[in-house]
Amino acid sequence: MKILFASVLIFFVMNAQAQTPDEKITSLGLQLPPATKPIANYVKYVRTGNLIFLSGHGPTKADGTNITGKVGKDLTIEQGYDAARVTGLSLLATLKDALGGDLSKVVRIVKLNGYVNCLPDFTEQPKVINGCSDLMVAVFGEKGKHARAAMGMVALPNNIAVEIEMVVEVK
């Protein structure tokens, strides 16, 4: 019985490790949106050496609209979490574009800076930005664990609910 259990455990561990990030995204029932264009005079990412710096992304839904409003006033913490997860998908779409379509070149998600559109007395920013952090760990496993800041802002561009920027180490 112990041998059978160990064999089953090894099978699941090996299969989990064998999944590419794209396969993991699909197995989570998610889909990456198209990579978006900058809305001003900047680029969506800059690669220097083995690091990619992704500009701030917002929660753009598949239909091209943004999740807007202040978390804690117009949106619940759970809706803010979802907005951060949608933003994470957008970040991954840009990252995939930067890597020529191959997310398996990711060595590590190094850092996330998350900004939450909220009232001055709102203090649950980490719970909101967890939407993006949890996504990175779900897609990349240990390589998705990162350093992070979660900050409150009295306003964000176009009234988006969250904005997140990311630094990634790549092959």
Q: Does 7 reside within a domain?
A: no
Q: What pLDDT, on the 0 to 100 scale, is given for residue 37?
A: 86
Q: Does 8 reside within a domain?
A: no
Over residues 29-50, the pLDDT tens digits come to 999 999 888 889 999 999 999 9
Q: Does 15 reside within a domain?
A: no
Average pLDDT, the chain: 92
Q: Does 63 reside within a domain?
A: yes
- What residue numbers bound the domain in which 138 lies? 20-170
Q: What pLDDT, on the 0 to 100 scale, is given for residue 11?
A: 47
Q: Average pLDDT for residues 77-101, to the nearest whole number?
A: 98
Q: What pLDDT, on the 0 to 100 scale, is given for residue 5?
A: 46
17 pLDDT tier (thresholds 50, 70, 90)? low
Q: Does 3 reside within a domain?
A: no
Q: Does 28 reside within a domain?
A: yes
Q: Does 153 reside within a domain?
A: yes
What is the DSSP track for the chain?
A: -HHHHHHHHHHHHHHHHH--HHHHHHHTT--PPPPPPPSSSS-SEEEETTEEEEEEE--B-TTSPBPBS-BTTTB-HHHHHHHHHHHHHHHHHHHHHHTTT-GGGEEEEEEEEEEEEB-TT---HHHHHHHHHHHHHHHHGGGG--EEEEEEES--GGGBSEEEEEEEEE-
Cα 65 to Cα 46: distance, rounded to the nearest angstrom: 25
Q: What pLDDT, on the 0 to 100 scale, is given for residue 39?
A: 83
Q: What pLDDT, on the 0 to 100 scale, is given for residue 62?
A: 86
Q: How many domains does the chain have?
A: 1
> What's the CATH code of the domain at 91?
3.30.1330.40
Q: Does 128 reside within a domain?
A: yes
Over residues 90-137, the pLDDT tens digits come to 999 999 999 999 999 999 999 999 999 999 999 999 999 999 999 999
Structure pTM? Answer: 0.89
